[in-house]
Amino acid sequence: MSLRKALCFLICSIGMALPMSAQPAKPAAITGVEDARLVETIPLDGTLYHVQGVDLDRDHIWVTSVDQKDSRAYLHQFSRKTHKLERRVDLTDGPRFHPGGFSIYKNSIWVPVAEYKRDSSAVLIELDKNTLAVKRRIPVSDHIGCVAVTKDSLIAGNWDSRQFYVLDRRAGRFESSTTPPAPAIRTLNLSTAILSAQEIPPKPQEPSNGLRGHP
């Protein structure tokens, strides 16, 4: 796939919209994406590959992309003010080069990087938001394509989000797994509030076979 010199980044009014000024202390309740409306289109000035996930804060826009030709996983940091690429970090982990939908929580960025096939393996990588240094790696024996962060947990979806896994964020230990209602949710980090409050059923099952990490 040819390199992309710019990404038309769409900000919608459902949780991804973070103005340059501070948000209200108590934002309006988020109930779904059905009423989303286009707020702004931002061209990003920098080389991107096949884009997988987007998240942002007041100063930066982060994008994950996969270079399929060279089998590399990247996290890119752009300035919200200039729209220019500031930093890029290679997150490739051996055969795992497919980054997914990721989430920012306080001073950490959580990115899943998986093999490029279902029923495979992945690693959940915690990076320092300021330095982009790797703080922690949590191996998973399934393809993880997206992750959302709550106060205490990581909620990860596998290929096509056919299965959700709940992890203890501090201990890095799997607590439960569950099959989400159809249609499967593909992007979890659009609104952690929706995910944590509504999309995880109250009766989790035991983790599926072998969620003990990959070799």
- What are the residue boundaries of the structural domains of the chain, listed by start? 4-20+28-199
pLDDT digits (tens, 9 = 90+) for 188-213: 434 333 333 333 343 444 433 334 34
Closest to 91 (Cα-Cα) out of 136, 58, 47, 46: 136
Instruction: Evaluate if residue 56 carries a pLDDT over 70.
Output: yes
- Is residue 161 very low, low, confident or very high in pLDDT (cuts 50, 70, 90)? confident
The span from the CA of 116 to the CA of 29, in Å, is 36
Q: What average pLDDT does the chain have?
A: 76
Sequence-ordered list of residues with C-beta below 8 angstroms from that of 63, at least 6 positions apart, any chain: 7, 9, 44, 48, 51, 53, 54, 75, 76, 78
pLDDT mean over 76-102: 97
DSSP 159: G
Give yes or no for residue 120 having a pLDDT over 70: yes
- What's the pTM value of the predicted model, to 2 decimals? 0.72
Contact between 157 and 145 (Cβ < 8 Å) = yes
CB contact set of 90 (below 8 Å; sequence gap of 6+): 72, 73, 74
CATH superfamily of 4-20+28-199: YVTN repeat-like/Quinoprotein amine dehydrogenase (2.130.10.10)
